Amino acid sequence: MILVGENMAQKLLDKFTAKLLINPESPIRPALDLLDEGSVLKIRAPGSCAAIEKRSGGIFEIESETATPLFEIRFLDSEDIPVFLEIKSAIEFGELFQAMVREGKLKLDLLMSFLDLWDKGVGFFLKEIGVLSAPSGYADLIKPLQLREIAFTEILDVKYLQQLVDELARIIGVRLWILDMNSMPVAVSTTGGEHCQLIIDSLEGVMRCYGSSIGGLTELKKAMAPKVRICHAGFICFDAPLILGGEMVGMISGDASLTEVPDKEYFRELAIELGIEPEPLIESLEKVRCVDIAEVEFLLSVVNAIAQVVSEMSFKQYQLSDLSKELSRKNVELKALFQAITEIQERERASIARDLHDDTGQNLTNALVNLEMALGEAASNPDLGAHLESASISISSVLKQLHDLSASLHPPLLDDLGLTEALHNLVRRMNGDHGIEFKLMARGEETELPSEVKINLYRIAQEGLSNVLKHSGATKAMVYFYISEEGVDLMIADNGKGIQGSIEDDGGVHLGFVNMRERAEQIGGIFERLPSEFGLTLSIHIPRQERAPV
């Protein structure tokens, strides 16, 4: 064997780090991205060392001496590094990795408990590179499951599950696991099963336990009923399916007991196979209970009953949550539709108002001028003069109605002089046409108000005053329009009969209130009814930071 010098070994390790770990185009980059933010990995070879850290969405090289890694990859010979530089996929990397581990050329040292590593994404990393992989038949078995693609945490309350398995483990004296259909731990009890903990703190132990749990999930999926099984290490385990809406989404698994006194030599050999120290494993066996099958089946029945209750409750919560999300989505769609319809209405109103003013209004004005000229020339014919004067009065009346209609459709003052003047004009017109006394009180500069805010506030005022006319029985009404550092406020108050109970309960005005509320929310405002001893007071407040953009 050719010995590689320390400088050459470091160069090879630097190439490995740059090409496979730091490079954004690396075939194993998707696997590295599954690790938690702040995760550190170390890579060693004789006489050389490198370390990387995941942070801010990237992978960066750091000083290896100060790093505290999740795990460490150790090449026993630097000459084995170059072959990794040729790999083209994450699975190819995983296959080469496992082959070198089996041949004793490479080691993966887990530097904290595997359950802690799993919480930091190491399990997903190993699955992505194929170190943890289920048989193809299992993939076909679970492929039809519709809930499989939904995150477990969206279906079940993981915090509650953790409390549940901790309490159960304390009572029955075994470690309990909750696994999803990909055999990924969702919750694991914090007590019990010291021997299992020692086994899975080695890579070989993790791989064997993963394969064993996949086997358990397979049997449960086929039977859709609880099962007792023997794990890869010879311990008795019991599994209960988690079934939501007729679909299995995971299992609660209890490990691990023995039916007879453990064979120390067997477990010593097992420890050597797994690459862990034999003595701690043998010592941990003293805490393993020897039970008969009847006791295991009783524990299984208890866990299965709890699994059924948890599953049923969780599925109902998931359905309610799913319905709530759907309603929320529909609400967003309806608001977007309302906004689109409102914008179309405003464009159409503005277009019609322009046509009425520019074409119809101009034609009527010309006709009126011609009539007045003819009226001056018809002084010698009283009958003709009377007819012409009557026609002139009619056209003048039509012109006024046309002007009012045009202003109602789209007030030109809103574009030319602003919202305050448009509101003044609205109040003036209503005072001239109706028996209610309308007033406006305005304060503040509106130079920064977007056009969308102006037109919607104008329409709200228009709708509010229309409701006063139709439903309130009031003699006075006041419009308040304030702009301040806190935002924009529009209030409409009257001294009428008011509304008993909720404004939504009054069918006569309900649609108008819905329209006002929708318009207020469209521009980031809050629409509410304010307490009042008499009459009705409506308020729209738009916080400064929530105003609609220009």
Domain boundaries, the chain: 6-128, 147-318, 411-546
Q: What percent of the chain clears pLDDT 70, i.e. is strictly above it?
A: 75
Q: What percent of the chain clears pLDDT 90, i.e. is strictly above it?
A: 12
What's the burial of 177, exposed, middle or buried (CB within 10 Å: 0-12/13-18/19+)?
buried
> Phi and psi of 175, rounded to 5°?
-80, 135
Q: State residue 549's pLDDT score.
A: 45
- pLDDT for 3 beyond 50: no
Q: State residue 119's pLDDT score.
A: 79
Whole-number Å distance between alpha carbons of 345 and 539: 24
Q: State residue 378's pLDDT score.
A: 61
> Any residues with CB less than 8 A from the CB of 212 and at least 6 apart, and which?
229, 231, 232, 237
Work out the pLDDT band at 547, boundaries 50, 70, 90: very low
Q: State residue 352's pLDDT score.
A: 61
Class of domain 147-318: alpha beta
Coil, helix or strand for 527?
strand
Answer yes or no: CATH 1.20.1260.10 is held by domain 411-546: no
pLDDT, average across residues 130-149: 75
Q: What is the pTM of this model?
A: 0.57
Work out the pLDDT band at 387, boundaries 50, 70, 90: low
Whole-number Å distance between alpha carbons of 264 and 267: 5
pLDDT, average across residues 69-76: 88
Q: Name the range with the highest mean pLDDT among 204-218, 253-267, 411-425.
A: 204-218
- pLDDT for 490 beyond 80: yes
Whole-number Å distance between alpha carbons of 131 and 158: 26
Structure-block tokens of residue 446 = 């509106």
Q: State residue 83's pLDDT score.
A: 92
Coil, helix or strand for 306?
helix
> Which has more confidence, 318 or 527?
527
pLDDT, average across residues 19-31: 92
- pLDDT for 436 beyond 80: yes
- pLDDT for 441 beyond 60: yes
- Residue 264 is classified by DSSP as H
| Full 3-state SS string of 330-371 | HHHHHHHHHHHHHHHHHHHHHHHHHHHHHHHHHHHHHHHHHH
Answer yes or no: CATH 3.40.50.150 is held by domain 6-128: no
> Which has more confidence, 430 or 97?
97
Picking from 430, 513, 443, the residue whose alpha carbon sits closest to that of residue 474 is 430
Averaged pLDDT score across all residues of the chain: 79
Q: State residue 359's pLDDT score.
A: 53
Q: Sheet of 536-543: strands edge to edge?
A: 437-443, 476-484, 487-494, 536-543, 526-530
Q: Which residue(s) pair with 252 in the sheet?
A: 178, 240
Cα-Cα-Cα-Cα dihedral sign, residues 346, 352, 357, 358: positive
